[in-house]
Structure 1
Amino acid sequence: MIEPRLPKFEWGQQVVAAIDLYNDGSHPEVPEDHLLVPAGGMGEIVQVGHHAEANLPVYMVDFGLAVVGCLEEEIAPEAAR
């Protein structure tokens, strides 16, 4: 059995969106493919989970107007801005 990959970021950490984040259908009140957070948008990690099939950490990031599930390549530490 492969061990789960350890998360690079932690709960409560300030991050920025590394890319534009669009609705993938997980926000039913917003049209699909609508821009949720532009690249550079500031957020805070409010939960760290794990995608079992992909063996990847998944981060719930509160960007103020929306909480978005993000992968590591979609966010960066605030200092990297």
Structure 2
Amino acid sequence: MTSSLPGNRDLPVSQFDLSTYWGRVQHSANISDPRTLLTSSAGLENAKKLVTAYKTGKMPEMTPELWNAKKIIDSTIHPGTAIGAFGAITR
């Protein structure tokens, strides 16, 4: 999870409006994206660098690349142990 990365700045929970039904549908579809299983170790490290840059204030705002990096980290890093999921570990 992104909370295990350095920096004091929190990332937004979702890029979609979770107060609406359609926003929740979009959010659920986005976090269930099976393409995150194909992320390489290099892709995961790049995602970590992007999120860390945002959390430490080096990136001023959320960009599409940063949203994708957050999705990769949230789907491949275990929130309790900060260890990568099976697909990311094996590459």
- TM-score normalised by the chain length of structure 1: 0.30
- Which structure carries more helix by proportion? 2
- Which structure carries more strand by proportion? 1
- TM-score normalised by the chain length of structure 2: 0.28
